[in-house]
């Protein structure tokens, strides 16, 4: 991870190398197992098996995304001035704009990246998707980016109020 000041401004370029997330994979596996239990308990006959096949396929797809096995999964992020580039497993860089559907919290970051007018790329990062310092810088960058571009409303978890009970 490196941060390089822009030569003609105060904007920083942030490069983050992503790694497979065991925590995200575990959470997705639990969710899919619970979905299988719900399908088993609520459906009967052939619809049960048809839906279960769909849940299993969805689970494999989610696992391949979280473990970064698929070709179109992001392995690196480069952020600067509200723009984001991401690199896939084969080294190809893709340009995108940071969308308004991004979510930032300490354990979870969801990036809404817009490639052109209609294509969206969602990148989900948990606390083990990169180094702690890299994720802290990413959260700070995203929050500062929101302030610098007020037209783009980014959802974020508000800080806790220590006085509230």
Same domain, 50 and 111: no
Same domain, 8 and 28: no
Q: Is the pLDDT of residue 5 over 70?
A: no
Same domain, 62 and 6: no
Task: Tell me the mean pLDDT in the region 86-99.
Answer: 85
Domain-embedded: residue 133: yes
pLDDT digits (tens, 9 = 90+) for 23-38: 999 999 999 999 999 9
pLDDT > 90 in the chain, percent? 19
Closest CA to 65 of 5, 148, 126: 126
* Residue 145 and residue 126 in contact, taking contact as beta carbons nearer than 8 Å: no
Same domain, 76 and 131: yes
pLDDT digits (tens, 9 = 90+) for 117-157: 667 888 889 989 898 899 998 888 888 776 555 444 444 44
Query: What is the per-residue pLDDT for 100?
Result: 80
Same domain, 62 and 82: no
Same domain, 81 and 150: yes
Q: How far, in Å, CA of 34 to CA of 20, rounded?
A: 23
| Mean of all residue pLDDT scores within the chain | 80
Residue with tokens 């991401």: 86
Domain-embedded: residue 111: yes
Query: What is the per-residue pLDDT for 57?
Result: 95
Q: Is the pLDDT of residue 97 over 70?
A: yes
Query: What is the per-residue pLDDT for 4?
Result: 42
What's the structural domain count of the chain?
2
Query: What is the per-residue pLDDT for 35?
Result: 94
Query: What is the per-residue pLDDT for 8?
Result: 39
Same domain, 43 and 101: no
Same domain, 95 and 148: yes
Show the domain range for 54. Answer: 23-66
**At 79, which CATH number?**
2.30.29
The reported pTM is 0.71
Would you place residue 92 in the very low, low, confident or very high pLDDT band (cuts 50, 70, 90)? Answer: confident
Same domain, 62 and 74: no
* Residue 44 and residue 50 in contact, taking contact as beta carbons nearer than 8 Å: no
What DSSP string describes 137-159? Answer: HHHHHHHHHHHH-TTS--EEPPP
Same domain, 48 and 79: no
The four Cα atoms 144, 147, 150, 155 give a dihedral, to 10 degrees, of 70
Query: What is the per-residue pLDDT for 1?
Result: 44
Domain-embedded: residue 119: yes
Domain-embedded: residue 162: no
Task: Tell me the mean pLDDT in the region 78-83.
Answer: 77
Same domain, 125 and 90: yes
């Amino acid at each position: 991870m490196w941060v390089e000041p822009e030569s003609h401004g105060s904007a920083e370029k942030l490069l983050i190398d992503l790694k497979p997330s065991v925590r995200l994979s575990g959470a997705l596996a639990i969710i899919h197992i619970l979905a299988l239990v719900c399908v088993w308990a609520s459906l009967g006959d052939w619809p049960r098996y048809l839906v279960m096949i769909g849940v299993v396929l969805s689970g494999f797809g989610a696992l391949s995304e979280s473990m970064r096995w698929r070709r179109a999964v992001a392995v690196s992020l480069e952020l600067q001035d509200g723009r984001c580039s991401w690199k896939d497993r084969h080294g190809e860089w893709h340009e995108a704009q940071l969308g308004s559907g991004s979510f930032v919290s300490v354990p979870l970051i969801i990036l809404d990246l817009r490639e052109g007018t209609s294509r969206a790329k969602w990148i989900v990062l948990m606390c083990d998707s990169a180094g702690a310092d890299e994720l802290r810088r990413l959260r700070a960058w995203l929050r500062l980016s929101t302030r610098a571009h007020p037209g783009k409303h980014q959802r974020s978890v508000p800080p806790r109020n220590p006085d509230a009970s």
